[in-house]
């Protein structure tokens, strides 16, 4: 009798469906979501890296191998001499020095001017500050081509054409985006620190130079990377204002080199990689400051 009762209970228990734990469903859903996101990120990374990878392997190939179909995804023979030929025939030494000069001046000017103006908007009270800052931000909405002709005429009347002045002097007057970015960072610095410095007799210039600048290295590194990248890759500015080939930057020099070699893609890709390499090295060298600066400014309310 007891065995019969136990067998019936066992049958009833087997027929009752086991309820799945809600947490297990949630965990499974989270794992699937993360897996989908991971796959999307990998696909996006491959999509972004593919052109650079193709440029790298093409720069080491010979022309017959480049024209072969189907294409090879790895050079059968590495032609390192492509870079030597490109550098010698393209006058890249001169173009690199010209571009490096413009980029260095632009970085120094942007870091100093934008941080100084941002300090005024963040820590100094004066009438109409919010209105003036709103007008400054509104200039970000203006397309660059709207002011292109008036700016060119203005520089022409100043006699700045065929010089580096139009490419460097504007950096000393700041830009709306950079000012906004550093202001957001300065807003995270305690006002008590500024007041204590004032009590000790420090001027606004001294506070900015000895307190704000050292504390804002991540934000300034971000501005420096943006400024260097903009000056190094600028094509339209030198194209408009520079006529003498001895003053050409790398972007114009690469265009001239393309006209010389026609469709020799191995040399052209080698030249393109030489132009791109300093920007990549700079980013990886300062990426810690760049990411830290972007995280802090993005998490600050204006």
Domain assignment present for 56: no
Query: Does residue 214 register a pLDDT over 70?
Result: yes
Domain assignment present for 69: no
> 249 lies in which domain range?
84-298
CATH number at residue 225: 1.10.3720.10
pLDDT at 62 (0 to 100): 86
pLDDT at 11 (0 to 100): 55
Domain assignment present for 164: yes
In angstroms, the first-to-last Cα distance of the chain is 80
What is the sign of the dihedral through the CA atoms of 127, 130, 134 and 136? positive
Query: Does residue 300 register a pLDDT over 60?
Result: no
Contact 242, 162 (CB under 8 A): yes
Domain assignment present for 143: yes
Q: How many domains does the chain have?
A: 1
190-to-197, 218, 300 alpha-carbon distances in Å: 12, 17, 13
pLDDT tens column, 159-192: 999 999 999 999 999 899 999 999 988 988 888 8
Domain assignment present for 96: yes
Contact 111, 230 (CB under 8 A): no
Residue of 111, 106, 130 whose CA lies nearest to 209: 111
* Sequence-separated (6 or more) residues with CB below 8 Å from residue 289: 217, 218, 221, 222
Query: Does residue 302 register a pLDDT over 50?
Result: no
* pTM, two decimal places: 0.80
Contact 160, 166 (CB under 8 A): yes
Query: Does residue 254 register a pLDDT over 70?
Result: yes
Domain assignment present for 45: no
pLDDT at 23 (0 to 100): 66
Domain assignment present for 66: no
Domain assignment present for 277: yes
């Amino acid at each position: 009798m007891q065995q019969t009762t136990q067998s019936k209970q066992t049958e009833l228990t087997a027929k009752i469906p086991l309820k799945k734990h809600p947490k297990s469903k949630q965990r499974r859903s989270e794992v699937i979501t993360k897996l989908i996101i991971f796959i999307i990120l990998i696909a996006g990374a491959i999509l972004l890296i593919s052109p650079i990878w193709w440029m790298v392997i093409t720069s080491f190939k010979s022309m017959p191998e480049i024209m072969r179909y189907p294409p090879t995804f790895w050079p059968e023979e590495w032609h390192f001499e492509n870079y030597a030929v490109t550098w010698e025939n393209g006058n890249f030494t001169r173009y690199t020095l010209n571009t490096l000069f413009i980029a260095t001046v632009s970085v120094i000017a942007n870091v100093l001017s934008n941080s100084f103006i941002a300090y005024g908007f963040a820590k100094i009270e004066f009438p109409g500050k919010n209105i003036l800052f709103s007008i400054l931000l509104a200039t970000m909405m203006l397309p660059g081509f709207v002011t292109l002709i008036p700016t060119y005429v203005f520089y022409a009347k100043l006699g700045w054409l065929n010089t580096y002045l139009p490419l460097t002097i504007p950096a000393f007057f700041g830009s709306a985006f950079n000012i906004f970015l550093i202001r957001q960072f300065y807003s995270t610095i305690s006002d008590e620190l500024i007041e204590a410095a004032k009590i000790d007799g420090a001027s606004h210039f001294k506070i900015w130079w000895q307190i704000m600048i050292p504390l804002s290295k991540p934000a300034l590194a971000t501005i420096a990377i943006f400024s260097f990248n903009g000056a190094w890759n600028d094509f339209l500015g030198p194209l408009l204002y520079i006529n003498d080939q001895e003053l050409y930057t790398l972007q114009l020099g690469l265009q001239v080199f393309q006209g010389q070699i026609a469709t020799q893609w191995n040399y052209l890709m080698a030249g393109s990689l030489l132009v791109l390499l300093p920007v990549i090295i700079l980013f990886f060298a300062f990426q810690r400051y760049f990411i830290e600066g972007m995280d802090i400014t993005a998490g600050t309310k204006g």
